[in-house]
Structure 1
């Protein structure tokens, strides 16, 4: 028996919201199927749960599933489930009336929004996924019967302001939603949702890990040409993150990783975690074995996908992983978020921030465990991702110590191996309280720098830092394990000369300063355009001169980086240091004392400065002049 049809109107605010959903909110039309499948999955979950506690339901839960049915002639797509179903009152409350507290305010914000993306973010606060069906359908028909009741209900609407509702006998338990599809139109972004290939693609992308089977009929032709119709299951249902680690093999992890990352190598590390309490979620994360080619590209994307109760929500969820861990791949499945949650909302969600903090600690902890238990694997991971991890020292102050523990760098201790900061500290000389380092473009350039001479001679280990990011983070991080980090190319150097020489170093230094005072003053004046000071050096043993910066000066390499990015910096004058024991310097002092007005002396001063600049990998302002002066000096010496 079919009862008379009752036509009801949507509430005024609901009509406005419905029009926005249908015509202007969602840019991705495919999500309508995700929403309907998610609703069906929820209905199956509810039936399974209620059947455990309410025997009066008398429902068969042996084969709970979702069916997708296509009718080419009628141009309909039906999403059917044998879940809990709805009563007439459920329909009116859940579908006929969208309006909730705050609807008017939400509508006002949507109207004021300047673009569709902002509107979509706002609509995400409301949760009206069922109505996304009207983006692709001229009419939607719904049939349902709730478990434990005998009367079914039919609901139908074209989404324009009214809906029809009536009672229907003889319906099975569950719900079917039939979409009377609009014609496919590439200009309007409407795909052919009657195409089995398109349906499979959408299910695979958005609903692959729904726990219930999603089935669709498919024709099979045997060897004799006979055709049969069978039901194909479209989704894998392999939500590995929802299973305990003991239930999943490493081969399954590897297969899943390769599926979501499109990487042909197995991951270097698998992180499987579950959090329970006020905010429940599961996470399955992977550290790749090899860096993607776009790791340092501006267009590089992050690799963590967000699911809500096994329903795909978005790729590259920025709120879940900081930029310096953008290489981490995987899935986070939250239990307590709306399916329509937007990126904007996630960025400000307190619980999501808590999830992010725990995920970061898990990833850094996994790399730390690798460092202590499998040095070879750690070395490979650091080689691939160390530069990105060091970016965290610029942006993640909460994890500075954890990141410093992971830092691995070349050093003068062993030309074949890198060292951690912890290992460096354990090897420090008695009385040494400073971690020394030198930055540069290449290891060879750093190792051969004049700045290294005194440190090499006295056996002090120096870290060799050649990544561009090293130029920045060493200035942001004052110390490690209570030991300050210090560039050997900045400030004064005091390596305790008195202890080595057995004499009063201060008196010796004062005597030298007096002997060279006139030369240093003359050089400071002569080279005033290039340097701000000329002084004697305690860091040189074999070179005649070197150029150093004050403790807080920008390094030349960093200055080049800023200029390459279009940021002009004020010219930083640096300091020229002379080795008072070098024959060239002592000869220059003697020549100056003999005839301070000798016209050759300014040219020699330029050559000393230019040579020091070249020795550290700097650029001459006038290479042609330097070459000419050097040629003249060599000619006169022959």
Structure 2
């Protein structure tokens, strides 16, 4: 509800619906880890300083003779408040409404649809979403924000205030200095936070990596009053140096983890990381992380990357997508270049040779980090790679088509399910498969399907089971696209079990080949008759020896799209080329043998076999009613005999 449309007066506005939902869930779900409110607010203050540095590159007047960027944390026991203040970029009135009253993240609705009502599970999701400013409501029942954007007059400042219950107010104020001051009015029972020792311990635990000085008033014991009193002096309570610029030997694992949470807005620690200083033609430092879980918007290919770009420790931009290929968009971290100009833009990034070198080097570093996990003997690292694959495998597969330079390295890191066991776990590499190939086998066989069950139960696998040949089961939507860029591995051709003209090579002996030729001759007339009956459905009908239990199956011609890919394209609303499948019949099946002596209902039997084969591979029938009618007539005819 708007009290007034006059921007010089106080207004009361409603939160975006998603903000209200997030606040209600967050206050209850994250209360057990309430200390993170200070980490989040200090992190935001640091970002505000970074943004001021960036804008001031071309407009030094924004500093207004106050170049010493810092964060102040203070508390007032009498008023029961904690204040986090910065002299960063600040916010205008419109920015305060936009940043504090709405959530402008892509995939927001999908994120809320994943919430289950289970506080423990929802807490992980909320942490994954990133709560930032709103985390203050975990410990505060009212938050006041006084802010003034750099470059504006003192009277252009605004005061934003809310109790977190659906509405907030905003009104003009006079603020002598730029930046943002956040005042938390603590809930009952949170008095332990009104302590310099407590606040300093939280800052040192979660925010020691922040490159700005975080200042607090010094305290000393007053013997006369028998209490701790605040002095007029201030002290820096964090190291106040860029973590990535420090010597690796001086950085504890906990500090790496907290810095990751700062740059990623994740509540959990990373899966693995790499920290390197690269010297040579191009000099830069990289601190790169692989998260332990996929973000809710992982499949948004238009989302910017997760890397922050610095030039000589000066922040340049968030989400520098030119520094990492799209298939590695889950990587978070920082890259600090010594060579790029401070006024670098996204357009310059696209053309820069130095950026190309950084991108190539960082890509190789990430692949090396993953190879270390994938090829390790230690179970802990193996488990980490299994986690990586479960969370990011489908996105990582995009690299086969996008990164020709590293295609072989990427292929070695791929993992699949297979017919070797009954698990749907994707834990079989191409190298594993090749090492287990049967004597005489010279191809890597795979089956695709819309689900693990569909692929595993495909009739195309029958001959492979009979001969004990392992088949990879590919069920991710990206697999069909990926395979168009990957034809072989280690000199072994990749062959779909659903493609026509299946050649088992040395896996078939000469006696089998001779028998097959004789059978094809015997069924020549039947095949021709079925082709006439199915002229509108099947491109061709032929005898197959890939089946042992099923009467028939459908296959695609060598140069045509598979049935699974055609269905995926149609489901996505994309144009799919019109093509007819090939019907292959099993000459040893009783139904096929019966057809040799069928005349009156030959066309119906042929159509039933085709439709059954279509259903078996997960396809949809063009005329399901016709199939049911024919099947019923067949059943009635059989029962009357």
- Aligned partners of 2:499 and 2:556 also within 8 Å: yes
Correspondence for 1:478 among 476, 487, 498: 487
Tell me which residue corresponds to 1:528: 535
Distance 2:524 2:310 in 1: 72
Larger Rg: 1
Does residue 264 of structure 1 match 2:264? no
Does residue 281 of structure 1 match 2:284? yes
Tell me which residue corresponds to 2:446: 437
* TM-score (norm. length: structure 1): 0.67
Does residue 365 of structure 1 match 2:364? no
Does residue 561 of structure 1 match 2:568? yes
- Aligned partners of 2:71 and 2:215 also within 8 Å: yes
- Aligned partners of 2:556 and 2:563 also within 8 Å: no
- Aligned partners of 1:307 and 1:334 also within 8 Å: yes
For residues 299-378 of structure 1, the aligned pairs below 5 Å read: 300-373=303-376, 374-378=381-385
Identify if the C-alpha distance between structure 1 residues 248 and 314 changes in structure 2 by more than 3 Å, giving closer, same or farther: same
Tell me which residue corresponds to 1:250: 253
For residues 100-139 of structure 1, the aligned pairs below 5 Å read: 136-137=150-151
Distance 1:635 1:67 in 2: 86
Does residue 517 of structure 1 match 2:518? no
* TM-score (norm. length: structure 2): 0.67
SS in 2 for 1:375: helix
- Give the aligned length: 474
Distance 2:174 2:528 in 1: 80
Identify if the C-alpha distance between structure 1 residues 183 and 232 changes in structure 2 by more than 3 Å, giving closer, same or farther: farther
Distance 2:556 2:518 in 1: 24
Tell me which residue corresponds to 1:452: 461
Distance 2:458 2:244 in 1: 52
- Deviation (angstroms), 1:37: 7.8
- Aligned partners of 1:38 and 1:311 also within 8 Å: no
- Deviation (angstroms), 1:460: 0.9
- Aligned partners of 1:193 and 1:199 also within 8 Å: no
Correspondence for 2:406 among 386, 399, 407: 399
Correspondence for 1:540 among 547, 551, 554: 547
Identify if the C-alpha distance between structure 1 residues 329 and 249 changes in structure 2 by more than 3 Å, giving closer, same or farther: same
Identify if the C-alpha distance between structure 1 residues 318 and 196 changes in structure 2 by more than 3 Å, giving closer, same or farther: closer
- Deviation (angstroms), 1:343: 0.9
Distance 2:174 2:286 in 1: 33
Distance 2:401 2:55 in 1: 44
Does residue 291 of structure 1 match 2:276? no
Output one character per residue of 1:195-247: Cα deviation in whole Å (capped at 9) or x when no partner.
Answer: 653599xxx9xx99786748799999x99999864446598624221122211
- Deviation (angstroms), 1:193: 7.5
For residues 10-89 of structure 1, the aligned pairs below 5 Å read: 33-35=52-54
Does residue 505 of structure 1 match 2:524? no
Tell me which residue corresponds to 1:92: none
Distance 2:176 2:290 in 1: 37
Distance 2:591 2:635 in 1: 14
Distance 1:531 1:575 in 2: 6
SS in 1 for 2:335: strand
- Deviation (angstroms), 1:622: 1.2
- Deviation (angstroms), 1:428: 0.8
SS in 2 for 1:476: coil
Distance 1:195 1:212 in 2: 17
- Deviation (angstroms), 1:490: 0.3
- Aligned partners of 2:208 and 2:255 also within 8 Å: no
SS in 1 for 2:327: helix
- Aligned partners of 2:50 and 2:314 also within 8 Å: no
Correspondence for 2:477 among 468, 473, 486: 468
Over aligned residues, Cα RMSD in angstroms? 3.8
- Deviation (angstroms), 1:469: 0.5
Identify if the C-alpha distance between structure 1 residues 337 and 386 changes in structure 2 by more than 3 Å, giving closer, same or farther: same
Tell me which residue corresponds to 1:23: none
Does residue 552 of structure 1 match 2:559? yes
- Deviation (angstroms), 1:309: 1.7
- Aligned partners of 2:416 and 2:472 also within 8 Å: yes
Distance 1:288 1:364 in 2: 14
Distance 1:470 1:463 in 2: 12
- Deviation (angstroms), 1:65: 6.5
SS in 2 for 1:284: strand
- Deviation (angstroms), 1:338: 2.2
- Deviation (angstroms), 1:421: 0.5
Identify if the C-alpha distance between structure 1 residues 583 and 401 changes in structure 2 by more than 3 Å, giving closer, same or farther: same
Distance 2:388 2:71 in 1: 44
Distance 2:415 2:174 in 1: 51
- Aligned partners of 2:450 and 2:476 also within 8 Å: yes
Distance 1:277 1:480 in 2: 34
Does residue 607 of structure 1 match 2:608? yes
- Deviation (angstroms), 1:558: 1.6
Tell me which residue corresponds to 1:630: 631
Distance 2:420 2:618 in 1: 23
Unaligned 5+ segments in structure 2 are: 1-46, 61-66, 73-85, 89-148, 160-169, 184-202
Distance 2:71 2:625 in 1: 77
- Aligned partners of 1:437 and 1:462 also within 8 Å: yes
For residues 196-275 of structure 1, the aligned pairs below 5 Å read: 197-198=180-181, 213=213, 229-231=232-234, 233=236, 237-275=240-278
Distance 2:351 2:449 in 1: 40
Identify if the C-alpha distance between structure 1 residues 78 and 217 changes in structure 2 by more than 3 Å, giving closer, same or farther: farther
Output one character per residue of 1:301-357: Cα deviation in whole Å (capped at 9) or x when no partner.
Answer: 421111112222111111111111111111111122222211111011111111111
Tell me which residue corresponds to 1:414: 421
- Aligned partners of 1:136 and 1:181 also within 8 Å: no
SS in 2 for 1:531: coil
Distance 1:614 1:68 in 2: 65
Does residue 194 of structure 1 match 2:174? no
